Structure 1
């Protein structure tokens, strides 16, 4: 048997604990001394796995990869060739006032700021070391050259594409062009360019564009003007793109919001928000990005429950709201709004009219909403206005009958093939995304429930639906009523003559 000196094991244990404590203390000092990045990552690769599991294809580019994420290698070859072709065309475009060397110098100077906009996991695909990112050590010369070429090729491709669309130039006869060789390809590319992680920072695109055409701005639109023109089908504002960018126009505040967008996903989100386009000096107020409503009580004192309290505070689940067909039976009248802004939903408590702007549904609708909703969840957690809109539509659409009602009212333009597909679309969009506590439509929810609680509205609605829902029903109802009155009159006269 080995003899151990008394206390030897205890001393060894104490030394190990002291060493562990020092390691933990060192880690805590490092964490405490770490500074928050000056620029928040605005282009992130990670998507909630639960959201991606519902429809992974909605987050995946089909043809064009933008930025340093290179995980879809099968897509690279044809479009990377196309990017170089567009880069050559861009450099030879009339009016470009900078050389290739000047563009490379611009990107080199902006490289640290460009890299700071991306999530760290992007750099691992570019062979940047994790400790270089954490300690702000520049990448190697080879990686920097690769980075500069990637940014320049992607930016030139986007700018050249936007210019060809704006000037309606189409495909040159002597040039290989995978974009314009088939009529539907541009729609797929437009979809790829609004994906939340498939982006270049908007500031570098504007810098390259301004360097190219800054000497003759009168002959070229601004880059934001080009971008809005390219994404015209998502320009949901009560003013045309042409009128918005007219010289000396009064809408500089809205243009400033567009200029401040982080990337194209953020730009398209801004285009969905409500904004007043009244002339200066009018009493109209512009859209606010703060929670808009604080609901008051719907119920007499002594009858308030926990569920009612949730309804008033905006924490509204589907069971608290009626679908479109049930609301119609309760007396609510649906009307398509003349507003182009999707978020501009209004309910008139006086006549029970709910006006909703028209919404076109096609193959790109789900990727569009999914990427903007994901972007809102990560960057605007207190201002999830597009998420609130999708939740409201999901509350209204519970069955094919609801879709049929909204289609007949021209609120929904369904190009998905069936009413069931619309129900599935909105149900899937809301999966794994919790409703916000301060939903911007809380007041609308409150008013709809209050209107529904008045029985007279339901009775009048049933009378209208049963007897006056069409011209022939109305004529038949009036004829039956007249016949009944004549019969009653004849009976009374007969009784009087006895």
Structure 2
């Protein structure tokens, strides 16, 4: 009987030790999870080009990063979707196979995907995906799991999505290639929403597999354009938002576009300056406490805002001799936030030392601090505001830079310094105030001149009267 308390005491100690061990194990697992998560925040490698967006960025506006209509690829972060677009994927896939049947069959396409499966799988930053049963109309979120890239579901998914994209691009390129009563092109706003979903950073297929399938089907056929031209035509509304993407002197280099990793990367490239242009204003420099004043304050300092004729959104130029700040026009609509957020997220992860888009947004945020700044830029035709109010524009640029840390170097630092130096010269502001207050309109200028003439005549009359005494 004397051993019973001792055994009980030993059991208590053993249970306590076991609980401590479990707690320690759980803590180690949480640490491992945090380590894996921290690795996911590193710049992407050359291979892993498709990723889940930083949770901090999603906190500001998670809707900007997720698809509304069409899911592409295995990396998906939404809980449900409609069966309508999945049905259209199969319809479009059937049309694509019929177009390609003279050169390739479904078996040929699946073989190409299977042979490239490991490379495709390697393009995604993580190995656990949310893979959905796309045969049902509404799906609850599936548990992440590892899968074999050579498996039938993976090959089927890539084949369906790639065929849908290629057929969609073909129908957008040529109206004669569309079917009667086309669900996407006949429906109001559907193309607008699908085009938006296809530029999302986490809703992508690698560019190389799309190009490979397209060339397998249509290479050497003069009726069909190259896949690059087809893609650029589809995304033409996002080429500086107002000019033709096929212009021979465009701001992109064709070689750079051919090397695009996916559609998000291609759209970023389309915004960049031409490699032939001397990038004097886009050479990165240190920004040590530099501050750029708002548009209204710069105008009061004598800076003249002009809309630029340059094709590239990033081509901001300042001429110290004339005091002219030239900025390309930017159209703002309901998709602008999603567009720039995805380009910035991709750029921060894959081009951490070439954050040209982020630098551009920081410049615009500096310039746009109030509705008066927006009004000035709208009147100068630099901003084309389709958001409904000037306040919405201010809110947009303030939100875009949230949780986006500015780099120590900014590619517009030279313009910062020139503008601040121009602002420091006092007579520039005196001349500007004189123009704004007394010569802002034709009538105010006439009235000012008349007042000066009257003052001079009165002074002459007074002097003559004094002399005659």
Structure 1 position 219 matched with structure 2 position 223: yes
* Counterpart mapping for 1:372-383 below 5 A: 372-383=343-354
Unpaired runs of at least 5, structure 2:
7-23, 37-41, 133-141
The 1-side partners of 2:420 and 2:371 are apart by: 22
Q: Could you tell me whether the CA contact under 8 Å between 2:232 and 2:245 is conserved in 1?
A: yes
Out of 44, 54, 61, the position equivalent to 2:51 is: 44
Structure 1 residue 74: Cα displacement: 2.8
Structure 1 residue 149: Cα displacement: 1.2
Out of 138, 154, 161, the position equivalent to 2:168 is: 161
Out of 449, 458, 464, the position equivalent to 2:429 is: 458
User: In 2 relative to 1, CA 39–348 (structure 1 residues): closer, same or farther, beyond 3 Å?
Assistant: closer
Which residue pairs with 2:135 in the alignment? none
* Counterpart mapping for 1:113-192 below 5 A: 113-123=119-129, 125=131, 138=148, 144-169=151-176, 171-173=178-180, 177-192=182-197
Aligned-pair Cα RMSD in Å: 3.2
The 2-side partners of 1:253 and 1:323 are apart by: 30
* Counterpart mapping for 1:424-435 below 5 A: 424-435=395-406
Structure 1 residue 148: Cα displacement: 1.1
The 2-side partners of 1:359 and 1:454 are apart by: 30
Residue deviations 1:368-389 (CA, integer Å, cap 9, x gap): 0000000011111000000000
Which residue pairs with 2:213 in the alignment? 208
Which residue pairs with 2:283 in the alignment? 292
User: In 2 relative to 1, CA 252–196 (structure 1 residues): closer, same or farther, beyond 3 Å?
Assistant: closer
The 2-side partners of 1:214 and 1:99 are apart by: 14
Which residue pairs with 1:92 in the alignment? 98
Out of 80, 102, 112, the position equivalent to 2:86 is: 80
The 1-side partners of 2:114 and 2:463 are apart by: 99
Out of 412, 419, 441, the position equivalent to 2:390 is: 419
SS at match of 2:326: strand
Residue deviations 1:413-438 (CA, integer Å, cap 9, x gap): 00000000000000000001011111
Residue deviations 1:255-298 (CA, integer Å, cap 9, x gap): 11001011000000000000056xxxxxx54x59x97144xxxx
Structure 1 position 442 matched with structure 2 position 413: yes
Structure 1 residue 119: Cα displacement: 2.2
The 1-side partners of 2:305 and 2:418 are apart by: 14
Runs (4+) of structure 1 moved beyond 6 Å? 126-130, 250-253
Q: Could you tell me whether the CA contact under 8 Å between 2:69 and 2:85 is conserved in 1?
A: yes
The 2-side partners of 1:57 and 1:253 are apart by: 29
SS at match of 2:305: strand
Q: Could you tell me whether the CA contact under 8 Å between 1:58 and 1:370 is conserved in 2?
A: yes
Q: Could you tell me whether the CA contact under 8 Å between 1:201 and 1:263 is conserved in 2?
A: yes
Out of 235, 241, 247, the position equivalent to 1:231 is: 235
Which residue pairs with 1:15 in the alignment? none
Q: Could you tell me whether the CA contact under 8 Å between 2:76 and 2:203 is conserved in 1?
A: no
Structure 1 residue 238: Cα displacement: 11
SS at match of 2:325: strand
Which residue pairs with 1:272 in the alignment? 271
Which residue pairs with 1:309 in the alignment? none
Structure 1 residue 76: Cα displacement: 4.3
Residue deviations 1:317-354 (CA, integer Å, cap 9, x gap): 7xx22111011111111111111211000011112111
Structure 1 residue 220: Cα displacement: 1.6
Residue deviations 1:167-186 (CA, integer Å, cap 9, x gap): 1237522x5x3312323111
User: In 2 relative to 1, CA 466–207 (structure 1 residues): closer, same or farther, beyond 3 Å?
Assistant: same
The 2-side partners of 1:78 and 1:430 are apart by: 36
Q: Could you tell me whether the CA contact under 8 Å between 1:67 and 1:151 is conserved in 2?
A: yes
User: In 2 relative to 1, CA 43–482 (structure 1 residues): closer, same or farther, beyond 3 Å?
Assistant: same
* Counterpart mapping for 1:243-258 below 5 A: 243-244=247-248, 254-258=253-257
Which residue pairs with 1:280 in the alignment? none
Structure 1 position 326 matched with structure 2 position 326: no
Structure 1 residue 450: Cα displacement: 0.7
Structure 1 residue 71: Cα displacement: 4.5
Structure 1 position 390 matched with structure 2 position 394: no
Structure 1 residue 486: Cα displacement: 1.3
SS at match of 1:335: strand
Q: Could you tell me whether the CA contact under 8 Å between 1:238 and 1:341 is conserved in 2?
A: no
Number of aligned positions between the proteins: 430
The 2-side partners of 1:189 and 1:158 are apart by: 10
Q: Could you tell me whether the CA contact under 8 Å between 1:96 and 1:213 is conserved in 2?
A: no
User: In 2 relative to 1, CA 181–337 (structure 1 residues): closer, same or farther, beyond 3 Å?
Assistant: same
- TM normalised by structure 2 equals 0.84
SS at match of 1:156: helix
Out of 36, 60, 65, the position equivalent to 1:59 is: 65
User: In 2 relative to 1, CA 497–476 (structure 1 residues): closer, same or farther, beyond 3 Å?
Assistant: same
Structure 1 residue 494: Cα displacement: 2.0
